[in-house]
Amino acid sequence: MALRNTAPPQFGRSPHLVELVAEVERLAASLAAAPERDRHELGLRRADEVVLATLILDGAEGDALPGAEEAAAALATAAPVEPDPNDRRGAWLDMLRVFDTPSDREIRALEVLGARAGDASDDLTAALLSDPGPALAELHRRLTRGLVTDQRAGAPRITEQAVHDGSTGRVVFFTAEPADVPGELALLEAWLSSAGTREHGLIVSGVLHLELLRIHPYDAANGRLARAAARLVLRARGLDPDHLAVPEPTLARDAMGYVEEVARTLRRRDLTIWLERWGEAVADGLRSSARDLGLLDTEVTEEASAFVVARPTFTLADHRAELALSPAEGREQLQRLLDSGLVARQPGTRGLRFVARSRGRNDDPT
């Protein structure tokens, strides 16, 4: 799904996508109006959620992050080495040469340091939209510090790659051919600095996210790069105040569904459902932050609460019919249910199906 002649990628402005754009704007505005100190403190608390979720989306296991001392020690151990000029198997082999005896914990510590650095790269927000090529290369260098050689960090990929299902080894989707990577990146950069400037920030961030996953421009950490870059776009457009959008935990609740959606999008050659899924994750992250800061009206009627208990999964039509609600009443009540955290949208259903959430913000819907 390359971007041709800098024309916007194909997607439809579906009613659900339009609704999500308005929802994201509403939630981001409510957060921006909260006291700055409260926003900052919550952003610091949610930072580790982002790091853990983005690593899970890249196939990492476990729910514990290494401490600062362990991470610093791993970085000190990873002294720069010269890559083997005759070996074209990629940067991960070079990374293994960095350590005398590489361990999973050392590698994970470096991945955590990189993910934190990527999330903290606010200085790249303007450059990502005005001069995206160097900004993406620099973001990749920060994400992979200590993991790949200096020569390969931020350099276009030269080996073939595919995204696999880690549990079965099945190829989920193929990425761009190495020879096509520079041209594909150039087209993406041209779109960002031309047609992308006229699109809403939620759409631009979603397009950039998908395209970086599809192209896989670098040797490693392309998933983390795609998510970090998308978040930078949200911040540049005022939709991620104080790092509080945190879409990564929502995406990580269905990590396999996330990459499968990329594959389906590439087959359809239409980004609409992908953009809806991304918009839902951004809205969910903003909503959970706004709820933590006490900015939302989370009271729901006894009737609505009883309905959710009785119907742990339901459709929009079910909800309106069973409670005899008008379309306007149904929208208002569902908004309250979402804001309260009692329900979540089921990804990929165009905003038509919902699931109960009974165990808190970071649990899987039940």
* Strand-by-strand arrangement of the 343-345 sheet: 313-315, 353-356, 343-345
pLDDT value, residue 64 = 67
Per-residue pLDDT band for 281 (boundaries 50, 70, 90) equals: very high
Query: Last residue of some domain: 256, 276, 292?
Result: 292
Q: Do both 151 and 179 map to the same domain?
A: yes
Per-residue confidence (pLDDT) for residue 149, from 0 to 100: 86
- Residue 57 shares a structural domain with residue 149: yes
Which CB contacts under 8 angstroms, 24+ apart, belong to 82-87? 82/149, 83/149, 83/151, 83/152
Pair (272, 352) in one structural domain = no
Mean pLDDT computed over every residue of the chain:
86
Residue 122 scores a pLDDT above 50 = yes
* The residue type at 187: L
Please provide the distance, in angstroms rounded to a whole number, between the alpha carbons at the two ends of the chain.
35
Report CA 65 to chain centroid distance, whole Å.
19
In this prediction, residue 71 carries a pLDDT of: 60
Residue 99 is predicted with a pLDDT of: 42
Q: Would you say residue 202 lies in a domain?
A: yes
pLDDT at 222 over 70: yes
Question: Are 347 and 202 contained in the same domain?
Answer: no
The whole-number pLDDT of residue 92 equals: 41
Of the three residues 262, 292, 322, the one that is the final residue of a domain is 292
Answer yes or no: do 349 and 282 share one domain: no
Domain range for 334: 297-366
pLDDT of residue 160: 93
Residue 236: both structure tokens together: 């540049």
- 């309260």: which residue's tokens? 340
CB atoms within 10 A of CB 311: 16
Residues 226 and 318 in one domain: no
Poorest-pLDDT segment among 180-184, 333-337, 358-362:
358-362
Q: Is 1 domain-assigned? A: no
Mark whether 108 and 239 lie in a shared domain: yes
Per-residue pLDDT of 227-243, as tens digits, reads 999 999 999 999 999 99
Residue 3 lies in a domain: no
CATH of the domain at 302: 1.10.10.10
Assess whether 302 and 281 both reside in one domain.
no
Domain-embedded: residue 6:
no
Burial of residue 234, with CB atoms counted within 10 A of its CB: 0-12 exposed, 13-18 middle, 19 or more buried: buried
Residue 10 within any structural domain of the chain = no
Of 233, 264, 292, which marks where a domain is finished?
A: 292
Instruction: Please report the pLDDT score of residue 209 as a whole number.
Output: 97
| Together in a domain, 144 and 173 | yes
Residues 342-359, mean pLDDT to the nearest whole number: 89
Is residue 244 domain-shared with residue 308, that is, in the same domain? no
3-state helix, strand, coil split of the chain in percent (to 5) is 60, 5, 35
Residue 97: pLDDT over 50: no
What is the rounded distance in angstroms from the CA atom of residue 259 to the CA atom of residue 227? 13
Query: Is 361 a member of any domain?
Result: yes
For residue 331, being part of any structural domain is answered with yes
- Count up the domains in the chain and report the number: 2
Query: Residue 298: what residue type?
Result: T
Asked whether residue 328 is assigned to any structural domain, the reply reads yes
Closest CA to 231 of 285, 273, 194: 285
Residue 256 shares a structural domain with residue 304: no
Instruction: Measure the CA angle with vertex 255, ends 343 and 158; round to 5°.
Output: 150
Q: What is the CATH number of the domain that holds 164?
A: 1.10.3290.10
* SS3 of residue 81 by DSSP: coil
The torsion angles phi and psi of 27, rounded to 5 degrees, stand at: -70, -40
Q: Are residues 335 and 312 in the same domain?
A: yes
Mean pLDDT of 124-131: 93
Q: What is the pLDDT of residues 10-24, one digit of tens each?
A: 899 999 999 999 999
